[in-house]
Structure 1
């Protein structure tokens, strides 16, 4: 069943309404000025509405009011007046925090506001409603009541989107459609509140894009990313209802927390300023000078490090923050302790956290409630935690993915009782082994849904952080994440198609939305098969002949499809289209074409023609990168897009792509017939029959996997656990036909490389033939004992598949049934190859 609420549906022809909401919502914005109960003319009729905010309210409410007034002016050319009082004879919008806005409190005291129980005492909650004759001389007011400063601000920024201003109007040059009149219509009060408490982004690995752009183009006076850039980031986050940031932290950047204006701006925009897993106590230790301050080693240099943390607590303690606890080495390196000394590491980590907590207790305000504290067991810290670290109960455990989108572990039943709850740190971009992917975002929203809905089902609900790299061109992934994190229960396994079509309609127009959604669907499918940054000659040569041929055709079709679509995009939407849609599709299609041509040349298929194709696609990509930096948006993004080479050694793991022209002579895998050449594959979603019990079932996830319909066991929580021999467990049944006695062979199962839910559990399915006893099959590499440098996961995360080979018994001639039954939650099956072809139907 479709669960995703439409984000911004098509304009209704009858009333040309903008950003029409689902029927369950109570607020609608139209461009037709209306009068009468339930309708307020924002622009038109009596003029322009006034916006009333209280000077005694949090300054964020005033910031949101000014942004809203800017947006009304962008759309209509007319600007609302912002003040503290109702204006006679003028339509009125009142926005503020309950208990901190005089007009709202007056209406509440007079019983004129409904559903205030839906905001009182809640986190970031909003209730919006129309009030008739609220004050003398005012016919009607639209009142936005927030439970806190962000709740009030979100009510205004959401209204901005409904009048037609995309959150990406600046960061992706999304056009604003001009209107002459705007009206708000409201029925019953509309109440909203987030389901995940802290929802944020990590600006990371900024060396290649955002830093270069800020330094060259946008903020040269700061020498890179500074307050001017952060203010634009914070505005975007406010519009997307993201409330937490881990700021840029590479050596090229000035330390965020050392620039007071950065911190002040974060507070101004209501952003909870935190720090990543290797920046304890809001301090980026990449700036630590070991020559003058001693080693970054708490065991031998405690006083110097403690003093630095104390300075952070005293200078930052008065503002809302998310305090990262624990310690790692300098800039993402391991903690400096004697190797192999786990008892020593446990003691040291315990001492560190006790000292940090003491500083927080003494210096950090509780104005915003209990102080938010996070512990991120990333890389070498996870074994220390698993060895028995006694972590204070109110600290949020932030679990991590494996850097490629697959969550390593979630909380055990005992850990789920913790007051601090749990969260997830997840990557759309990554710098590290086995290879970085920093150029474009080819991670399907469907994978984000599958893994984060699993986190939700397993009670990781307090904090979701997304590594967005340079932010551009990650716009679609960031937008999906922001909306999903706000309301995970509103997004179902079929959310990707609806989201893509809605996003396309908003940014490219209704007429082209279906074609754009189709293009993006294929883009993400091909990106699942292999990200451009992860392509390499050895991969291309390892492909079965038929698969390589089909991939080559698919890359060519993607480029043709995109070129046809680009020619139809209206001029005023072209920049937004190129930045968010066109450029990523061109990169993926052309890069894939280069590697397929190189494969063909290596196999002796007209090397001269293939070399010409490689040269053509390379020149195409170079032109596209140059255009992104110098032509798109009149050169606004100069420096944001790195070129085809980012390292002298094209084979270095930190280059964007391991281009075939950088391969050493004779490089690449030996030319050999792949072991599974010629196998007939079926999508798991195409099982001949499926059984389910209650709400548990194998559920196709739209857009997931190389088939675009991989099936996940849902729900993904512990309730979806089954005994090995339970014949009532959710099952996929496939018909096979043995042509002769003794036929048989292996069943191949392509799983997505997910992990078991938590240590002590496994990730398994049962496979049986006819009524035979099931064979227990573990998802390869799912135990959590192997990191991404191990062979199974190294290839699995790059291919988004791990393959299990299941030996089947010899079959009698005739029809048979191969059944795959659920055992453990978290399994995702993409496709299967059966030992005999299915009967024709």
Structure 2
């Protein structure tokens, strides 16, 4: 947990996980005993305290039972004695107030603060005192978690960590207020899985279900909820739901298109009575509808959504932004009048938010705004990249700035629903960008069905307590501690590795946008490497399950094994389909083998879902894994899982040779151009393959003969039944200097298939540092720089495990001002470029949105001492909801323009490597640089705007050998001059 506690006489600190060392399992002098020798401490809470505090106190009593086998009895009374756990809220509990008056406890550090608390242990008593209702509840649940009860004990069937002895170390522990005020989740896209599960388990999405969710949020130290709204109305479906939310201590809101605490379903149920959802024609009835909603909910703790969109999560009106903004001005003014009438207090004391979602971003960019006491709720692009950082002009806004963020999406640009595809490093990078730029009043996260998004939910809600507590270097540590809190220490690092990798591999290509043609089957062994990564992960996840105690396996299946193995199965299924299609085109009989593998994985997917729905936890999660996730052809969910189309290959009547070579999807003999292997060069010393396969029945003999002595083939003859792979290498000691041509002739009977090749040998470059380079395409991981030179206000810093590969490079200060290259932070890379003239440089950056239109999204690149070329990542940029025009990029009043960028300003081409930056989680920026001489050079990359995050560099992309990731990086060792 990201919050928690500091010992006496030490200023409040924040740990990585909240598992602080104030719980001991052996008594020391002055420690407080919770449990020992079959006895447990009695819990005392005032009858005058909040119902939610009293309820949570009973939870703590039962949590002691979960850990020790014996509950702590709870007494609701006004007195206590030695050995009691005393719980209460300042100003609400007479017991706590008396302890303050008697100077037994000092609460000056938390009094009148938001959601803060102290825990004080002194031999004869343990005191948990909160500054407000939720502060006390959070203090209670902090003790619960630290004694060994996971916040996920119910929602993921996590067993308590057992101990017969529990002590609290003597001292005073202080927790200051959270850095993000409102922190919560949005249950959305909840059909068929969440709704089907709720109906089966609880008879519907009702208060019986919601109390479990309220408790989870509080145990995670969250305080806010947007309830399920697909055909559901939180306040009307079960009137006890809002009552219990308030009793528990949860602030309720309604989604971005459901203003004034009215669910969309409430409108559709009475559409004949209310009339059209059109404020220009039906303002009076809509005002009445909103007034009644607020009047119904006014006694509860709410954060009210204001504004208006069209009926059912669409833009209002007929697409005329000017007309919509004029209407929206009146809507907000009238809504605030309603709020004032209902609440009878200043509007600044009634929490409100306006969601700048989808088309509403255009209104805001065009100058539309809402009153200063309303929180501006900025949004992401639906796939986890925020669309705006906190604007400078809004930094002093009374209502503050908030964020609506997706780790689940049903809609454009494409569905992302079934499984977790969001990594902790990505969350940390994007949420840090939001927080550091002032977005800290409200974070509401679209989590879909809640399951199976447990890990990112856990991280986000704890990170929101204090984003400064977790650096980019600590994201894996967080995951290890999360795993340790659930499964214990022994396997925590291995489990953290599995959950980190399955999400990361999903992020490379999310299941709903998988396609059989994404990864290359013939270039750089890309598909094989991808398949092997998933295979290794699935095997490791299965092996770990067998090493865990029986009581932990239900939790392990939900949190680790199912998402890892099912994700692997879907990814491998698509890879097998792709290989089937390629091999069928080539006439290989093994195409049928890959079709069978795909079918087997498709069947496995159903078995894995069935185990989740029917078997684990005694069938507790029936229907929860019901999302269709295979066979998407458009953004919306298909009606059923479907295998992509595959081909069946029928054998010829007689054995017949077929040849396929690395780097080509063709097969020979085909009567057209000859087979050609990719170029060999002395620097990389490549090995390429030739596949010999049988297009017919029975077997055949073959021979392979090279026409040059420096060509080495792994086999010169053999017998082929199905297929056989030969490897070709060069004897570089025997190869003449220069560009050499060679040929291998492969013969079966009277059929001869020639395979041509080119091998280049030249003097190797001298370099005092390791370098990248060679003939043709090569890539450089961003973190493999040879020098990192800081600028005036920031430096490039390594962001481990971010992006699709090992790490990315980002800014140490996301609030740094834009810099021209002369003063900008700079990365340098040693490269060998063997050819003079034009070199194409492709910078792979994360698909950061146009977060600050007033300045741009720029990076610069140069070779050696040449003038840097500045690239703006917005050129050619497409926002799913907004095409940026010169008018929308105009400077706001009072902001000074940047200095002229000069002549060397590059336009960004899409490039043949680029497919879809959102689906690929990478944006390619292309620039041509002039290489004045062949040899070793220094490539320089400059940080102009701090939001740009660099992942990869591909130099001289070879469109003859296209691939998803580009050529695999190969670092060449230093070769010092003699």
- State if a TM-score over 0.5 links the two structures: yes
The match for 1:725 is 821
Are 1:684 and 2:778 matched, yes or no?
no
The match for 1:747 is 841
Q: Give the conservation status (yes or no) of the 8 Å contact 1:206–1:248.
A: yes
CA spacing shift, 1:660–1:308, aligned 2, 3 Å: closer
The match for 1:350 is 329
CA distance in 2, matches of 1:45, 1:248: 46
Q: Mapping of 1:17-96 within 5 angstroms?
A: 28-32=22-26, 34=27, 36-37=29-30, 39-44=31-36, 47-85=39-77, 90-96=82-88
1:490-525 CA distance string (max 9 Å, x none): 011022210111111122221111211222232132
Q: Give the conservation status (yes or no) of the 8 Å contact 1:744–1:835.
A: no
CA spacing shift, 1:784–1:622, aligned 2, 3 Å: closer
Are 1:167 and 2:155 matched, yes or no?
no
CA spacing shift, 1:273–1:323, aligned 2, 3 Å: same
Q: Give the conservation status (yes or no) of the 8 Å contact 1:446–1:495.
A: no
1:106-127 CA distance string (max 9 Å, x none): 121122213x222122110112
CA spacing shift, 1:638–1:678, aligned 2, 3 Å: farther
Q: Give the conservation status (yes or no) of the 8 Å contact 2:79–2:95.
A: no
CA spacing shift, 1:372–1:815, aligned 2, 3 Å: same
Q: Mapping of 1:427-438 within 5 angstroms?
A: 427-438=406-417
CA distance in 2, matches of 1:809, 1:87: 83
CA distance in 2, matches of 1:677, 1:541: 20
CA spacing shift, 1:193–1:391, aligned 2, 3 Å: same
Are 1:700 and 2:798 matched, yes or no?
yes
CA distance in 1, matches of 2:876, 2:238: 43
CA spacing shift, 1:72–1:479, aligned 2, 3 Å: same
CA distance in 1, matches of 2:56, 2:153: 16
Q: Mapping of 1:140-159 within 5 angstroms?
A: 140-159=124-143
Q: Mapping of 1:200-279 within 5 angstroms?
A: 200-216=184-200, 218-220=201-203, 224-251=204-231, 253-256=232-235, 259-279=238-258
CA spacing shift, 1:749–1:513, aligned 2, 3 Å: same
CA spacing shift, 1:705–1:795, aligned 2, 3 Å: same
Of 487, 501, 507, 1:522 maps to 501
Moved more, 789-798 or 56-65: 789-798
Of 836, 854, 863, 1:760 maps to 854
How far does residue 90 in structure 1 lie from its aligned partner after superposition?
A: 4.4
How far does residue 840 in structure 1 lie from its aligned partner after superposition?
A: 2.6
Are 1:775 and 2:754 matched, yes or no?
no
How far does residue 41 in structure 1 lie from its aligned partner after superposition?
A: 0.8
Are 1:184 and 2:168 matched, yes or no?
yes
The match for 1:620 is 604
Q: Give the conservation status (yes or no) of the 8 Å contact 2:117–2:129.
A: yes
How far does residue 161 in structure 1 lie from its aligned partner after superposition?
A: 0.2
1:125-161 CA distance string (max 9 Å, x none): 11221246xxxxxxx2111221110001100001000
How far does residue 350 in structure 1 lie from its aligned partner after superposition?
A: 0.9
How far does residue 645 in structure 1 lie from its aligned partner after superposition?
A: 5.9
Root-mean-square deviation over aligned CA pairs: 3.0
Per the alignment, in what secondary structure is the counterpart of residue 279 of structure 2? coil
The match for 2:919 is 798
Q: Give the conservation status (yes or no) of the 8 Å contact 1:546–1:678.
A: no
Q: Give the conservation status (yes or no) of the 8 Å contact 1:433–1:788.
A: no
In structure 1, the gaps of 5 or more residues are: 9-19, 133-139
How far does residue 191 in structure 1 lie from its aligned partner after superposition?
A: 2.7
How far does residue 67 in structure 1 lie from its aligned partner after superposition?
A: 1.0
Q: Provide the aligned length of Structure 1 versus Structure 2.
A: 800
CA distance in 2, matches of 1:641, 1:331: 26
CA spacing shift, 1:439–1:366, aligned 2, 3 Å: farther
Q: Give the conservation status (yes or no) of the 8 Å contact 2:233–2:264.
A: no
1:44-85 CA distance string (max 9 Å, x none): 259321222122222221111011111111112222222245
CA distance in 2, matches of 1:312, 1:405: 32
Q: Give the conservation status (yes or no) of the 8 Å contact 1:435–1:654.
A: yes
Are 1:736 and 2:853 matched, yes or no?
no
CA spacing shift, 1:562–1:677, aligned 2, 3 Å: farther
Q: Give the conservation status (yes or no) of the 8 Å contact 1:282–1:312.
A: yes
CA distance in 1, matches of 2:423, 2:219: 23
Of 99, 105, 108, 1:117 maps to 108
The match for 1:293 is 274
Of 73, 91, 98, 1:99 maps to 91
* Superposition TM-score, scaled by structure 2 size: 0.77
CA distance in 1, matches of 2:289, 2:833: 72
The match for 1:318 is 299
CA distance in 2, matches of 1:656, 1:709: 35
CA distance in 2, matches of 1:476, 1:22: 15
How far does residue 255 in structure 1 lie from its aligned partner after superposition?
A: 4.0
CA spacing shift, 1:721–1:641, aligned 2, 3 Å: same
How far does residue 6 in structure 1 lie from its aligned partner after superposition?
A: 9.9
Higher strand fraction (1 or 2): 2
The match for 1:715 is 813
Of 939, 962, 967, 1:818 maps to 939
CA spacing shift, 1:678–1:169, aligned 2, 3 Å: farther
Q: Give the conservation status (yes or no) of the 8 Å contact 2:514–2:574.
A: yes
Q: Give the conservation status (yes or no) of the 8 Å contact 2:3–2:466.
A: no
CA distance in 1, matches of 2:406, 2:194: 17
Per the alignment, in what secondary structure is the counterpart of residue 189 of structure 1? strand
The match for 1:555 is 534
Per the alignment, in what secondary structure is the counterpart of residue 235 of structure 1? helix
Higher helix fraction (1 or 2): 1
1:668-705 CA distance string (max 9 Å, x none): xx97999x997322210111111124662222222210
By relative contact order (CA 8 Å, sep 6+), the higher-ranking structure is 1
CA distance in 1, matches of 2:307, 2:848: 27
Q: Give the conservation status (yes or no) of the 8 Å contact 2:121–2:168.
A: no
CA distance in 2, matches of 1:86, 1:412: 50
CA distance in 2, matches of 1:491, 1:143: 29
CA spacing shift, 1:257–1:462, aligned 2, 3 Å: farther
The match for 1:130 is 121
The match for 1:653 is 635
The match for 1:327 is 308
Q: Mapping of 1:205-604 within 5 angstroms?
A: 205-216=189-200, 218-220=201-203, 224-251=204-231, 253-256=232-235, 259-289=238-268, 290-335=271-316, 337-340=317-320, 342-364=321-343, 370-540=349-519, 544-604=523-583
Q: Give the conservation status (yes or no) of the 8 Å contact 1:274–1:322.
A: yes
CA distance in 2, matches of 1:474, 1:96: 33
CA distance in 2, matches of 1:366, 1:573: 51
Q: Give the conservation status (yes or no) of the 8 Å contact 2:383–2:918.
A: yes
Moved more, 280-289 or 354-363: 280-289
The match for 1:16 is none
CA spacing shift, 1:389–1:23, aligned 2, 3 Å: closer
Per the alignment, in what secondary structure is the counterpart of residue 597 of structure 2? helix
Per the alignment, in what secondary structure is the counterpart of residue 584 of structure 1? helix
Per the alignment, in what secondary structure is the counterpart of residue 525 of structure 2? helix
Of 926, 931, 948, 1:827 maps to 948
